[in-house]
Chains A and B, each alone.
Chain A
Amino acid sequence: MNKELFHCIDAGSEYCPCYLAETMNCITCSHLQDEKFCNCNWRGMCIYQEFFHCGSKLKETRESIEVKIINKESIGNVVVFTLSVPHTLARQLNQPGAYIFIRNKESNHFFDTPMSIMDSDPINKTIKLAVQVHGVKTKTINDVKDTILIRGPYWNGIYGLEHLKKTQNSKCLFLARGVAQAPALLVIKHLLTHNNKIDVLLDSGSINHEFITEGNDVNIIGRYDLLNEDTHEAILDLLQNGGYDLIFIGTSDYLRDKITNIPEMNNRKIVVTNNNAICCGEGICGSCVVYDLNGVPIKTCKTQMNY
C-alpha cells in the first residue's frame, strides 16, 4: 500500500544500471533512490548489486551510429527504410516494442525521432522501419541519402509485454490503424511463434496503405474506419463471440481510449502502442513524463506497464 513500484524496461539488461542510477533516480531500486531499505518489484536481478559491480557507474550507453540504407521506398506519405545494422543490434531489436531513434546525419541531436521497428532480420543483419512523413523531424529524415544515424536498442514501444509473454495457443484480435501497423508486425511475429491465431481489423488511416497482409499469416477480417461508432459495434460483437484472449490496439491515445470504453474490453489482456513523445529514451529529458492519478511522474520511455 506504499508508493507504486515501477518496472523499468531496461532493468537487468546490458544497459542497466543506467544514468538514472548514477544520480540516485532509478525507476526500480529503492537503494538507488537514496532510501535506506530494500524495496523493488524484483525481476530477478539486484540492480544495486550490479551497480556496485560496475564500480558505481552506469554499465553501457547507447550511442548513435551511422548505418547504410539498403532500400528506401516511398509509399504515399510513408517511407519504408531497410537499414543494414550490426548483427547484435538486429538481434536486440527483434522483439515486440523495440524502437530506435533515427535522424539525418546533417541534423543535430534535437532531431532524434523515435521509430518503431517493423521487422528485424538478425541473420541478414537488416531492420525495417516505416516513417510517416508529416512533421519537422520526419521531413528532414526524408532527405537522407545513403546513410542515416540511428541510436538504440530501446524496448518500451509497447505496453503490456507481460500479457504477450503469457499468450500461447490462443486467439488474438488486432486493431491497427495507419502507421501503427508497423509496430504491430513485430508483435504478430512474436505471437505466431507461440502458436497463436491472429485476426486483424485493418484501418489504413491517413497513410492509405496496408502493411499487414495475409502474407503475414494472419486473418484479415475486415477493413474498417476505427473512428466510426458502427465499427465499435462490430468490435463489441467480435469480443462477445470471438473467444479472444488478447487484444492489440495500435492507434492514437484518443482512439485507444474510445475503443477501451467498449464494454467487453474490461478484464481483457490488452496490448497498446506507447504513443508518448520520446526524445532521449533514457529517462532524462522529461519529454515523455506523464502523471498518474496521484500526481506521481512516470518516465514513459522506460517504464513498462500494463494498460
Chain B
Amino acid sequence: MAKVVIIGGGWAGCSAAITAKKAGANVEIYERTDMLIGLGNVGGIMRNNGRYTAAEESILLGASELFEITDLCSRHTNLEFPGHKHASLYDVTIIEPKVRKLLIDMGIEVHFQSRVVDVVKKDNNIKAIKLHDNSLVEGDIFIETTGSTGSMGNCLKYGNGCAMCILRCPSFGPRVSISHKAGVEDILGQRKGGSYGAFSGSCKLNKDSLSPEIQEKLNKTGVVVIPLAKEDINHDKLNMKVCQQYALTEYAENIILLDTGHAKLMAPFYPLEKLRKIPGLENARYEDPYAGGIGNSIRYLSIAPRHNNMRVRNIENLMCAGEKAGLFVGHTEAIVTGSLAGHNSVRLFLGMPLLELPRNLASGDLIAFANEEISTTDGLMKRYTFAGSDYFTRMKELGLYTTDSKILESKIDRLNLLNIYDDKLI
C-alpha cells in the first residue's frame, strides 16, 4: 500500500492529496498552522484570463473538486476588472472549512500544527520526515508543498520585515525547505535590481471599515477603482510585486479593490496614513497582513529544481508543487501543479512512467515553460501565471487560451487524458 506524505496543506498540498488519494494511496498531510489552504485564506481570484482555461483543463483531467468549491463560494463571477476578464472571486471567509471537510470525507489524514523540520535520508531516498517535536513520520513518497514565502528573517532581509500575515510564523514557527534539508539547494527568485524574492501582491482591508458607498459597490459589482491624486502615483512599486499580472499602469494610478469577502487591495502594501487620505477609505484598517501599512510577506525564496513531472531533481521519492515548484502565482497554478504531483506520486511508487502534461495544454506548457525559464537570469525575474503578464500573452500566441470547454474536451480526449486523475492505480 502506498503511503504518500504531503508537507504543507495549502492549495497545492490539498490538490496533491486529492489526486494521490484517488489514485489509491494512503495520504497524510502535515500542516504547520491550524488551517488548510494557506495563502488561499487571503486570496480569492480564480478564472481570470488564462486561469479559466487552466481550470477547465484540470476539471477535464479529473481534478474538479477544488474548482467546484471555489466556484460554489464565489461572490462574483464573470467579473471584469483592469487587465482581467471573466474572473470569479471566492469568499475567503467561508472557503477553508469546505476544503477541510472534502479532504476529511475522502479519508485523507490531516495533521495540524505539525511543522516538518528535517528529513531522514538513505542515499537519495527520503525514509522519513522529522516534525518539530522530533517525532518521525515514515512514508513511501513525499510531496513538498511548503511554498516559498518567509520566514520572518527572510521577510526582514528582503522586504520590510514581518508584516504579520496569514502565515503566522511567530505563532506556528517558520516554514522549512524540505528539499533543502534533503540536500538539494533552493533556487531564489529575484526582482528588478537583483535583490531576492518579491512582495506578495495584495493585501486585505476590513470591508466594514470602508465607507457605505464603497461597501455597497463592492458587494454589488465586485470591483471598485479609485483614481489616485497625481502626487501619490508611484510606478516603481510595481516592480516589487510577485503578481506581475497586476503590475499594469492601472494599478499604479488607481486604488483597485476586489470583493473577496474582505476588500482585496491590489497593492503589496500601502502606508495607512496615505490610504486614509483616499475618499471612502478614511477609516480603513487592514485585515491581512495586520501590518499591511508597512509591508507584506516576501515570496519566491525557496524553489526546488524539478522535472516536468513534478519530481524534485536528485531525490528519488520527493515531488513538489505550488510555489515550491517554480515562480508561479495563484491558486489555480497551485492546484494544477499539485494535482499532477499527487497523481504522479502513486505512479512513482508503482514504478510506472510519470505523467508529463503535454505542451499543447496550457497546464502542460506553463509547467514546462517555467522550468526552462528558471535557469536563465532574466527568467528569475519573471513570474509565471495563466492570469497575465508574459505568460498569458504566450498562451494567446500559442493558441492555448480558450473559454470553450468543448474545445478543451475534444483536445484532452484526443490526448487520451480525459479524467486521468480519476484512475485508481492501486
Complex Cα gap A42–B302 (Å): 18
Complex Cα gap A37–B196 (Å): 11
Q: What are the interface flags for B148-162 relative to A under an 8 Å C-beta threshold, 1 for contact and 0 otherwise?
A: 001111101100011
Q: Is the interface of A mostly helix, strand, loop or mixed?
A: loop
Q: Is the CB of B154 within 8 A of A38?
A: yes
Q: Is the CB of A31 within 8 A of B151?
A: no
Contacts of B117 in A (CB 8 A): 41
B121 close to A (CB within 8 Å): yes
Contacts of B177 in A (CB 8 A): 37
Q: Is the CB of B182 within 8 A of A38?
A: no
Complex Cα gap A47–B174 (Å): 12
Contacts A38-B151, A41-B117; A49 near B156 (Cβ below 8 A): yes
| 24 A-B contact pairs sorted by A residue (CB < 8 Å) | A1-B121, A1-B181, A1-B182, A2-B180, A2-B181, A30-B153, A37-B154, A37-B177, A37-B302, A38-B150, A38-B151, A38-B153, A38-B154, A40-B153, A41-B117, A44-B170, A46-B151, A46-B153, A46-B156, A46-B162, A46-B174, A48-B153, A48-B156, A52-B161
Q: Is the CB of A46 within 8 A of B186?
A: no
Complex Cα gap A255–B392 (Å): 71
The interface of chain B, by Cβ under 8 A from chain A, is 117-121, 132, 150-154, 156-157, 161-162, 169-170, 173-174, 176-177, 180-183, 186, 188, 196, 301-302
A115 close to B (CB within 8 Å): no
Q: What are the interface flags for A47-72 relative to B under an 8 Å C-beta threshold, 1 for contact and 0 otherwise?
A: 11100100000000000000000000
Contacts of B182 in A (CB 8 A): 1
A29 close to B (CB within 8 Å): yes
Q: Is the CB of B120 within 8 A of A46?
A: no
Contacts of A46 in B (CB 8 A): 151-153, 156, 162, 169-170, 174
Contacts of A38 in B (CB 8 A): 150-154, 174, 301
Complex Cα gap A42–B162 (Å): 15
Q: Is the CB of A1 within 8 A of B120?
A: yes
Complex Cα gap A230–B162 (Å): 59
Looking at A31, A37, A38, A41, the one whose CB has the most chain B CB atoms below 10 A away is: A38
The residue of chain A having its C-beta at the shortest distance from the C-beta of B173 within the complex is A42
Q: What are the interface flags for A24-42 relative to B under an 8 Å C-beta threshold, 1 for contact and 0 otherwise?
A: 0000011100001111111
Q: How far is the CB of B87 from chain A (nearest CB, A)?
A: 34
Complex Cα gap A93–B119 (Å): 37
Contacts of A31 in B (CB 8 A): 153, 156-157
In the A-B complex, the 8 residue pairs with the smallest Cβ-Cβ separation, listed nearest first, are A46-B152, A48-B153, A38-B153, A42-B173, A31-B153, A38-B154, A38-B151, A49-B152
Which single member of B119, B132, B169, B196 contacts A36 (CB below 8 Å)? B196
Q: Is the CB of A36 within 8 A of B188?
A: yes
Complex Cα gap A48–B152 (Å): 8
Contacts of A1 in B (CB 8 A): 118-121, 181-183
Contacts of A29 in B (CB 8 A): 153
